[in-house]
Structures are given as C-alpha cells and as structure tokens.
Chains A and B, each alone.
Chain A
C-alpha cells in the first residue's frame, strides 16, 4: 500500500526533552510537509520540503527542526524550546495539488 506512515501514534515527552516524530512515504512525492493541529484550530504549517536536502520554515517553525536527507523521509524534532508542544502532528506529501496525510502523532507533555 502506498501512503504516508507516521510513528509513533502516541508520544509522551518530559519537560526539557527533545523528541523526534517519524514520517515516511513510499509515494515518490518530492514535497513533504509538517502541520500542527490544535483543538478548534486549522492546520498550521511548521516546515516543508520541496526537494531532498532543502526545507523551508512555515508559519510556526520556532521550537521545531527538520531534516530531509532522503526523499522518503522527513522527520520532525520537537525541541525543548517549543513551550507548548502538546498537539496532534500531521505529516503530508503533495502530488501536484492533492495533499496526502499520514494518520498523525499525538504528542503530550507530561
């Protein structure tokens, strides 16, 4: 099955820790995106990458970092600098105009 695979589904972070969310795709898409979803709010763009070894900040990049060493992979690191990281994180790839989303990772700070 082709698609976007995010792991883990649930993640718990202690204060001051960095955590990395995995996003893998086998769709052979060039563009990949990370969004944050909070209750009652839309999807806010964190980072995006339109080609390997290149990525751009989105609207809420502070406290996050990414890498794009392979076309298939676009991991997101939530650093200790992100003061309110509890949210639902969605990874997506874009083919022409359609976005394909993963199933999301719910991150909770404990």
Chain B
C-alpha cells in the first residue's frame, strides 16, 4: 500500500513556465509535508515544507498548496529555470513516530 502517491513521474517545462507536481496521502497521522530537491549524484535537500494548519506557503518562486480535506498537496515552481532541473520528492511525516514516507519522485526538465 503506497501511502504517498506522487505525479507526474516526469515533467518537461519551458523556461519561464510553471511547474506543478502533485502528491496525495492516505494516513491522517501525517502532520508535516516537506518537499525535497535532488540533483544527480547528490543527496536530497529540503526545499520547502508545510504543516496542515495552513493552506499555502510561499518561498520565493516555490509554493506549496495544501488541501487537508482532500489529503492532497502540490508544489508550484513559478518562472521555472533550467537550474531547477532536478528530481523532486514530496514526503509526509508523522512527527510523533519520527518517520517520513516519500513519494516516488518527479524528474523535472526545464528547457531553455
């Protein structure tokens, strides 16, 4: 049973466009939802995160939208740049248990 479903698996966007990656979760015990960015051959790094008591969080060009009733959240990258080309993972964390469940990742390619 996959607890966090991420889509799409891959995404190609033109420079300046908007990249949107979606995730859905099942377990209501999750209480923290981070997004990680991973470049080839490197470990993932935290990009942005949200708690379920807010519906949106914005940091620069990156925005998380969160829909608690639908158990869905998404990452929006505005004005996408070639340097944003990477794999993005959503995660859902149960902070009481100290465990995170990751989505399968989305490979984003931003074409110049």
A28-41 near B? 1/0 per residue, CB < 8 Å? 00010001000011
A interface, how many residues as a size bin?
Answer: 20 to 34
Which residues of chain B are near A102, meaning CB under 8 Å? 43
Q: Verify if A97 is at the interface (C-beta below 8 Å from B).
A: yes
Quick check: A103 and B99 within 8 Å, CB to CB? no
Contact B44 A45 (CB under 8 A): no
Residues of chain A lying within 8 A (CB to CB) of residue B44 = 43, 90, 99, 101
Query: Please, what's the 1-or-0 string for A60-94, where 1 marks a CB less than 8 Å from any CB in chain B?
Result: 00000000000000000000000000000010101
Contact code string B56-69 (vs A, CB < 8 Å = 1, else 0):
00000000000000
Is B95 a contact partner of A97 (Cβ separation < 8 A)? yes
Residues on A with C-beta less than 8 A from B99 are: 45, 48
From B6, B43, B98, A104 is in contact (CB under 8 Å) with: B43
A86 CB to closest chain B CB, in angstroms? 16
5 A-B residue pairs with CB within 8 Å: A41-B105, A42-B104, A43-B89, A103-B41, A104-B42
